[in-house]
Structure 1
Amino acid sequence: MIYPKIPLAQSLIEICKAKDLHDVVISPGSRNAPLTIGFASNPEFNCYSIADERCAAFFAMGMAQQKQKPVALVCTSGSALLNYYPAVAEAFYSQIPLVVISADRPKSKIDIGDGQTIRQENVFQNHILFSANLSEEASEENDLKINQAINEAIIQKGPVHINAPFEEPLYETVRELSVQPVVVDCQKDEKQLSNLDVFVNQWNTAKKKLILIGVNNPNEIDVAVLNQLANDPSVVVMTEVTSNVHHPDFIPNIDTIITPFTDEDFKAFQPEILVSIGGMIVSKRIKAFIRKYKPNEHWHVDTHRAYDTFGCLTQHFEVSPNVFFNEFLSKVNPTESDYRQMAMDLKAMRKQMHNKYLKTIPFSDMKVFEKILPMLPENSQLQISNSSPIRYAQLFDIHPSIEVFCNRGTSGIDGSTTTAIGAALASGKPTVMITGDVSFFYDSNALWNSYITQNFKIILINNHGGGIFRILPGHQETAVFNTFFETSHALTAEHLAKMYGFDYFKCGNESELNVEMKMFSAAEKPSIIEIFTPTEINNQVLLNYFKNLVTEEIYK
């Protein structure tokens, strides 16, 4: 076995191995040579080489998203480390475990004008679970810091940073280890539910209970729990496309349901108790609704964090949804109420108007989503970029066998494609990425990747700019708007596809879409279909959609 000669590098690598941290994404550099040599020379590690550090970090995050265990990132000193920051922030808010390992120069070389040198210690301090600032020599103190960092990533689900200073020479190797690092077991503190009597009494007397499920991993909540919630006439369960929860008596497509509400409707739908589950909520409308029409109680169920998203949080149950509901629901009784039936009647009416409107619209972003979502392969994974794509996806039903993911931690457009590529590799499932043009071109280095699976496909909806700005209040047809907000462009993905070896398909109307999507779906290698939609009418089609959802108000 080949090991780096530097003892600190040996300690880091051996502790990673002991912690079953086997996936390592490495970006090239010289200062991190001891780590690169050590990880890449050890068959217990799966090493991936990604040149662009920003892409490397999102690639690692996509892998960790699927594996639900830490993936390591290794980079050289200087600005390389800063390029990890967007993915670190996303991992922090999405509770995805990452272990960032940065090589650094010794402290004596910092701030003296040495090349490729910045202040790396605590660089992520606002968006990190733990920062391990190591000293240059191997020591028990360093070992304990490394252990604590990796254990925090495992237990608390999030990013940690280990900064390791190395002095030259950097490339020397040995055949035997010179260290026996300390390894500290990872101790998970399982939280227990306290006495639930007060909450049971509140639940049993409330006639309107709303369950809101945000970003959630597939199969996270038992079917028996979902069925029990669905059978309570006083409970309405609202899901988002990223919740990966499906039930015929739940309410998906939240914006479709509540956007046309009047003040009277909102008051009728206002819950007495809100129970939120999972991560970030996509719908701005549901957030605005609950912030204005607050429930008496807001309980959040999550093993780690509880954001006071609606300004009315009263209780955080620090357990998993299954632990909470399996105990809680055994103590409560269904409550007579018309709350669920009112919501189901509204759902049926909105669905009727939804289908009626779609028959009238021209080729547009909305028409594309209507057509492509039913064409997605069953038992596949769908990754969606932020901005318009995730919002359009919220308006449509997606087959329950399809797992849906989106980087909603910071909701940025950066790194969406790279995340999808890492997720596809880790999951092994056929994966489709639906993205807008600005997000795709922003992250075009994602395709500079040797690990793209053969069943990875990209649906690129190109409306020639940031179309979401056309539905926001600042929209005006001016040079300032087109240049600085919408960022209008005439780019296509055709030559990128050719350069990176993707099959390429394109279409610009509904009949072409039907033909090209069939060939795209049948392709047996990485593929891109670029769908060109008309910039000028997309926003009006969407805005008119919400105006056409109402026939008669059911709250009278």
Structure 2
Amino acid sequence: MTTTINMANPNTIWASVLVEALVRSGVTHFVISPGSRSTPLAIAAVEHPKTTTTVHFDERGAGYFALGYARANQCAAALICTSGTAVANYLPAIVEASQDFLPMVVLTADRPPETWNSGVNQTILQDGIYSHYTRLNRTLPVPGTHIPLAFLIEMVDRACDAMQNVENPGPVHLNCPFEKPLEPTGVTTDFAPWLLPIRSWLNNDVSLSQNTNRPVTDIDPLIVVQTAARLARATHGLLVFGRENDRKHAESYLKLARILKWPIWIDIQSPLRSSLTYSELPLLNADILSQSEVQNRWQPNVILQFGGPLTSQLALDYFTEVRPEIYLQVHPFTTPSMDPTRCVTNHIQTEGGKFAEALYQRLSDSEIAPSYFDSGWSTQTQNFQNQY
């Protein structure tokens, strides 16, 4: 057996298999908020040879730590907490992860179902507590040899598949009831027959269900040709870089920006924010957009946006008022929440960096109309460099 299983009792076996299944799906960092009911999960996470752990005593802070981990590493961390009100403290971070399509696994320990609605201390209804902000919510059965361990592995794999879904990735919730003993107290029962049906799984390192979800990367050549033609003709174009979690596309975005020479709005949550300077290209900010001179003399009729929604309410209000003839938004995921202004005329569902690179290659051989936002305007924007 290549997988190490804590054989002390059904709880430790169950938790060991659960953590192993998560590790095989790429979840290797666990953020633990100490508590009694979550003891089996915490021990399993700490004992696994391929995991790393962070201990955070406050569940709200732990949730935001996992959120930041997902942003920085483009992979999920798993949260572990005890039962009761501790569970509710994860909600703000889960909402943000959901809105930003960030992966996160939430493992909440729970008391057995017979204690629910009974007034027992630290017992609330935890099933579905995060509502529609999780991509999958399951309350697992209480560990016992009558429950096949293959069922547990399947549930974990389903959760990870939902978390990494191409169309709509985001957080998932597994509610985990445990009976006492919660600590790894040894018992005389032979649990080997319980593990026998998953022996082949234990002896390899793959998931029962192979996750085939991948980011949307295919680019329709016709869309590239049509989009490049629109951009080449535009004299009042604006490039917008919205909320995005991956920094690897910055160079492709910069190449496209330099060839178009359009003014640019960069959201505070865009990784491109630290990659451009005012000396290179005209960068817009709230001070510039609020000037009546700008509003009267220049309004974009074509907007090309990469990434998710913008943070600035001023920019959102401005785009709503201007309502350009063509507003293209490029993002791997397209849902109504990606367009709060309802101004987008075309959603292009693909990876932003590759689409920007394809546009750059196409435009390199094209005649591009000069931007109305000329060098004089560029000089004016430099005056706001210290305020941006």
Q: Please, what TM-score do these two structures have when normalized by structure 2?
A: 0.82
Tell me if structure 1 keeps the 8 A contact 2:237–2:371: no
> Structure 2 CA distance, aligned partners of 1:288 and 1:130?
34
How many Å apart are 1:225 and its aligned residue? Answer: 4.5
How many Å apart are 1:131 and its aligned residue? Answer: 1.4
How many Å apart are 1:336 and its aligned residue? Answer: 1.8
How many Å apart are 1:350 and its aligned residue? Answer: 4.4
1:125 corresponding residue in structure 2: 131
Tell me if structure 1 keeps the 8 A contact 2:233–2:369: no
Q: Which moved more, 1:150-159 or 1:282-291?
A: 150-159
Choose which of 297, 304, 311 in structure 1 pairs with 2:342: 311
Q: How does 1:239-250 map to 2 (within 5 A)?
A: 239-245=266-272, 246-247=275-276, 248-250=279-281
- Deviation by residue 1:29-59 (Cα, 9 ceiling, x = unmatched): 1111111121122232212221111111112
Q: CA RMSD in A?
A: 2.6
> Structure 1 CA distance, aligned partners of 2:321 and 2:309?
19
2:302 corresponding residue in structure 1: 273
- Deviation by residue 1:425-457 (Cα, 9 ceiling, x = unmatched): xxxxxxxxxxxxxxxxxxxxxxxxxxxxxxxxx
Choose which of 150, 159, 174 in structure 1 pairs with 2:171: 159
Aligned in 2, Cα 1:111/1:226: closer, same or farther, shift over 3 Å?
A: same
How many Å apart are 1:280 and its aligned residue? Answer: 3.6
> Structure 1 CA distance, aligned partners of 2:271 and 2:183?
47
2:92 corresponding residue in structure 1: 86
Q: Secondary structure at the match of 1:299?
A: strand
1:184 corresponding residue in structure 2: 209
Tell me if structure 2 keeps the 8 A contact 1:132–1:146: no
Choose which of 153, 157, 161 in structure 2 pairs with 1:143: 153
Tell me if structure 2 keeps the 8 A contact 1:240–1:252: no
1:172 aligns with 2:184: yes
Choose which of 283, 294, 300 in structure 1 pairs with 2:323: 294
Number of matched pairs: 352
- Deviation by residue 1:72-102 (Cα, 9 ceiling, x = unmatched): 1001111111011111112222332211101
Tell me if structure 1 keeps the 8 A contact 2:282–2:381: no
Tell me if structure 1 keeps the 8 A contact 2:255–2:360: no
Choose which of 219, 239, 242 in structure 2 pairs with 1:193: 219
1:76 aligns with 2:82: yes
> Structure 2 CA distance, aligned partners of 1:317 and 1:81?
37
How many Å apart are 1:173 and its aligned residue? Answer: 4.9
1:340 aligns with 2:385: no
1:106 aligns with 2:112: yes
Aligned in 2, Cα 1:102/1:22: closer, same or farther, shift over 3 Å?
A: same
- Deviation by residue 1:290-336 (Cα, 9 ceiling, x = unmatched): 10111112221111245112221222222111221222333343422
2:204 corresponding residue in structure 1: none
How many Å apart are 1:25 and its aligned residue? Answer: 0.9
- Deviation by residue 1:464-513 (Cα, 9 ceiling, x = unmatched): xxxxxxxxxxxxxxxxxxxxxxxxxxxxxxxxxxxxxxxxxxxxxxxxxx
Aligned in 2, Cα 1:16/1:226: closer, same or farther, shift over 3 Å?
A: same
User: What is the identity, as a one-letter code, of the residue corresponding to 1:88?
Assistant: I
Identity %: 23
Aligned in 2, Cα 1:176/1:300: closer, same or farther, shift over 3 Å?
A: farther
Choose which of 59, 63, 72 in structure 2 pairs with 1:53: 59
Q: Please, what TM-score do these two structures have when normalized by structure 1?
A: 0.58
> Structure 2 CA distance, aligned partners of 1:29 and 1:62?
23
1:256 aligns with 2:287: yes
Q: Secondary structure at the match of 1:331?
A: helix
> Structure 2 CA distance, aligned partners of 1:297 and 1:252?
20
Q: Secondary structure at the match of 2:78?
A: strand
Tell me if structure 2 keeps the 8 A contact 1:21–1:72: yes
Taking CA–CA contacts closer than 8 Å with sequence separation of 6 or more, which of the two structures ends up with the larger relative contact order? 2
How many Å apart are 1:244 and its aligned residue? Answer: 2.8
Q: Which moved more, 1:88-97 or 1:265-274?
A: 265-274
2:265 corresponding residue in structure 1: 238
> Structure 2 CA distance, aligned partners of 1:166 and 1:109?
11
Aligned in 2, Cα 1:200/1:280: closer, same or farther, shift over 3 Å?
A: closer
Tell me if structure 2 keeps the 8 A contact 1:236–1:340: yes
1:24 corresponding residue in structure 2: 30
> Structure 2 CA distance, aligned partners of 1:241 and 1:172?
47
Tell me if structure 1 keeps the 8 A contact 2:232–2:369: no
Aligned in 2, Cα 1:270/1:334: closer, same or farther, shift over 3 Å?
A: farther
Aligned in 2, Cα 1:89/1:326: closer, same or farther, shift over 3 Å?
A: same
Tell me if structure 2 keeps the 8 A contact 1:240–1:253: no
Q: How does 1:465-504 map to 2 (within 5 A)?
A: none
How many Å apart are 1:26 and its aligned residue? Answer: 0.8
Unaligned 5+ runs, structure 2: 202-206
User: What is the identity, as a one-letter code, of the residue corresponding to 2:333?
Assistant: H
Aligned in 2, Cα 1:202/1:19: closer, same or farther, shift over 3 Å?
A: same
How many Å apart are 1:176 and its aligned residue? Answer: 8.0
Unaligned 5+ runs, structure 1: 356-369, 371-394, 397-556
User: What is the identity, as a one-letter code, of the residue corresponding to 1:315?
Assistant: N
Q: Secondary structure at the match of 2:54?
A: strand
Q: Secondary structure at the match of 1:231?
A: helix
Q: Secondary structure at the match of 2:87?
A: helix
Tell me if structure 2 keeps the 8 A contact 1:9–1:34: yes
Choose which of 213, 234, 257 in structure 2 pairs with 1:229: 257
Tell me if structure 2 keeps the 8 A contact 1:69–1:154: no
Aligned in 2, Cα 1:321/1:81: closer, same or farther, shift over 3 Å?
A: same
Tell me if structure 2 keeps the 8 A contact 1:121–1:133: yes
> Structure 2 CA distance, aligned partners of 1:243 and 1:252?
14
